[in-house]
Amino acid sequence: MVSTTRAAGTADRPPITHTYHYYAPPSFSLSLSLLQPPVRWPRSTTTTVAVDRVNQPRGKLRHLNPSQPISTHPNPSRPICAPTFLFLVSPTTYRYIPTEEVPAADLEDIINRSCTAFRDPGVTPVVKTGDCWTMELFHGPTFAFKDVALQFLGNLFEYFIDKKEGDAKRLTIMGATSGDTGSAAIYGLRGKKNVHCFILYPKGRVSLIQEQQMSTVPDSNIHCLRVEGTFDDAQDIVKAAFMDTEFRNKVRLGAVNSINWARVLAQMTYYFYSYYRVTDQAKGVKKVSFSVPTGNFGDILAGFYAKKMGLPVGKLVVGTNENDILHRFFSSGEYAKEQIATSISPSMDICVSSNFERYLFHLFGDDPQKLRALMEAFEGSGDPVTNSVGVGKSRSLKVTPQLLKKAREDFLSERSNTEETLALIKEYNEVHGYLYCPHSAIGKPLPSVTHYHPSYTVP
């Protein structure tokens, strides 16, 4: 069941946010909250902030060799000093967006306009928080880490549409949200010419402030739809719409979820930025590891691609709450769908991570046929299958021991329950004077995660 919704009033308290932590071996660890760390409000208040994750625009995004290092300085492995966020965004996106599609001057303008929406001049500042570093991604208009990508995407959509003629000069955006994607998408697309945005969210499963952020926007091109069910139910509606070729072409459908690769591209930029901010201050550190609160796998996938581009990343740590399908995969090799558990970090209450399929493609040697066979079995649209990469059946797929070992070379994982999350929030607030939200706290690696790699130590 889907219903339109308009909530009355606004809330004084900010919405919840996510945080990503980063660790730098070998002698100590650095934790960076790359997504949405808790906002540090004026000392008179101690609240946290709200938060939550695109399909290729009508132009073409060129995929270059991801193993080719990005050059931002004559010596890209170590600039003279940490570059600014804007300095790094352009060379990163240039690698994927050809100048014949978007001239350099136009791309610079899109990037600059996207960054002006942020309250902090650094866009995504990095701060030291106890035994880790935290990248604050809550300085955008909705306090969500997704503001970084969706401000850029909204301006990119508008740019491509403006170049079209006749009936092609319009776009319908459709997306599902567990909270933060919806509000960030709406604020990135509100008022855009020739764009109508439809956002679906699960009834009773997003924070009040996020629902109000979405449902109180008065712009005529914004439409909120409340769905009876879970985020996955809303996501299934969106996926079905994109699978209907006739409907997709008729309404000129586009996406804001991280199924749109342009969003993943935009998120790659702050991995480079955070690396240079940390290594500029932590002298002698050559590699930085990233621990990311993970639901739909889009943000940490951006970190994976940044590493493939040459960024000196140690490990990528997948942090999950009780909805731990990803942690179970990296622990056992089995990716098994279970019922969603309601948690205190609702933006991560996801039982199937849409972007994980992209990583499996690379894990399977970039073989689309092997991936398709297992995923169709997993989704129940194909027969059970066994091939050289694993076994697939309805609601479950399991990779071979060799591929699980390879996956663990790319990612570590951990699971935090409510008790552990609340304990960490309390500890960091009392000891370090920094307030993590329930999402951000999951990004702070537990001591047990260091057992995977002897060079990681937590002070």
Could you give the residue numbers annotated as active site?
Answer: 146
376-389 per-residue burial string, b: 16 or more CB within 10 A, e: under 16: ebbeeebeebeeeb
| The two structure tokens encoding residue 284 | 């002698």
Furthest C-alpha separation in the chain = 61
Residue 309 CA, chain-centre distance (Å), reads 18
Q: How long a stretch of residues is the chain?
A: 459
Tell me, what DSSP letter sits at residue 9?
S
How far is residue 212's CA from residue 209's CA, in Å, rounded to a whole number?
5
Q: Give the closest residue to 184 by CA, choosing from 227, 215, 225, 140.
A: 140
| The two structure tokens encoding residue 336 | 């098994």
Q: Is 193 helix (H, G, I), strand (E, B) or coil?
A: coil
Question: Residue 202 pairs with which residues in a beta bridge?
Answer: 227
Residue with tokens 């076994």: 391
On the 0-12 / 13-18 / 19+ scale of CB atoms within 10 A, 42 is exposed
| The two structure tokens encoding residue 53 | 């994750």
Q: Is 160 helix (H, G, I), strand (E, B) or coil?
A: helix
